[in-house]
Structure 1
Amino acid sequence: MKTDGEIRIFLAATSGGHLTEGLALFGGLSGTKLIVFSEYGPRMETLDCEHYGYRRIKSPVLTMIPSFFKSLYLIAKTRPDWVVTTGAECGTAAILAAKLLFRKTIFVETASRYRTKTMSAKICYPLVDHFYVQTQEGLAIFGKKAEYIGGILA
């Protein structure tokens, strides 16, 4: 249940670097309720927030399909103000689900990709409300919609 002034953020990120960057965005942020959607694994059990998982299938495309339907269900259930992703298959699926449910969306391109676009970024760029890059080079690659926020983990 949403309390007065609380902003609900649904963070969708695969485990590893994507999740690390996503969690760094909201670490210690007051007035927010963080809801994490990521792969099942040992790290999920250590999260100190509401979290949901999915099982990764060998193919990223095959992983996106069940991730989309689970995201659709979870976003409808948790009713976040913002759906945020740092990329990869569950993030792309969550952005697609969020747009169907008329939720505001943010995509943060990973810092490790500064010369080329990730597949997730290519798909999500025209869909999201805000698109952020962590490198100056990312501004030239993506164009007008991209906004530079600096390195999250710097």
Structure 2
Amino acid sequence: MKIVLVSSAGGHLAQLLPLAPWWSKHERTWVSFKLPEVESALAGEDVVWAHFPTTRNLFNAFRNFLLAWPTLIRIRPDLVVSDGAGVSVPFFLVAKVLGIRTVYLECFDRISMPTLSGRICYPMTDVFCVQWPQQLHSYPDAVNVGPVL
């Protein structure tokens, strides 16, 4: 299976890295930001560098939308996986249009308030995962996978 893992830096990336027993078995490409901590964490991985910052930055959201098209068409993944933040939205939009399945993992530290990217991606996600039972109030059709950290 080919997967694309889309993640912001910091805590978002830190939540996908422990899933290595799963993603390491698959052909994969990462989408993240060209920052020293990301380059270090993803050394040796295939990475597409997204435009940063994305938090409420419409210009970079548009640029990442334009990046998502050729990236997903070139890779032709079976699955796009993300845990946010803003960089996930354009990739999920394009994945939806191209018929690529998506999985979203809501953030570990947002227990009672949903994230903006989670709220946007929820309706277009094939499987939406949460890490706390309380998060099911915001995402009633989600799957509670428990804490990944």
The structure 1 residue matched to 2:91, chosen from 94, 104, 126, is 94
TM-score, normalised relative to structure 1: 0.87
Task: Classify the secondary structure of the residue corresponding to 1:126.
Answer: helix
Listed as ranges, the matches of 1:95-134 within 5 Å are 95-134=92-131
User: Please, what is the CA RMSD of the aligned residues?
Assistant: 1.5
Aligned to 1:40: 34
Aligned to 2:52: 56
1:52 Cα offset (Å) = 1.0
Task: Classify the secondary structure of the residue corresponding to 2:31.
Answer: strand
- Using the aligned pairs only, state the percent identity: 29
- Which runs of 4 or more aligned residues in structure 1 lie more than 4 Å from their structure 2 counterparts after TM superposition? none
TM-score, normalised relative to structure 2: 0.90
Residues of 1 paired with 2:51 and 2:91: CA distance? 15
1:152 Cα offset (Å) = 0.7
Aligned to 1:28: 21
Residues of 2 paired with 1:139 and 1:91: CA distance? 20
1:136 Cα offset (Å) = 1.0
Residues of 1 paired with 2:148 and 2:134: CA distance? 15
For the 8 Å contact 1:63–1:89, the answer to whether it is kept is: no
Aligned to 1:11: 5
The structure 2 residue matched to 1:85, chosen from 79, 82, 87, is 82
Aligned to 2:66: 69
Residues of 2 paired with 1:107 and 1:99: CA distance? 13
Task: Classify the secondary structure of the residue corresponding to 2:27.
Answer: strand
Query: Which segments of 5 or more consecutive residues in structure 2 lack a partner in the other structure?
Result: none
Residues of 1 paired with 2:110 and 2:94: CA distance? 25
Residues of 2 paired with 1:44 and 1:78: CA distance? 21
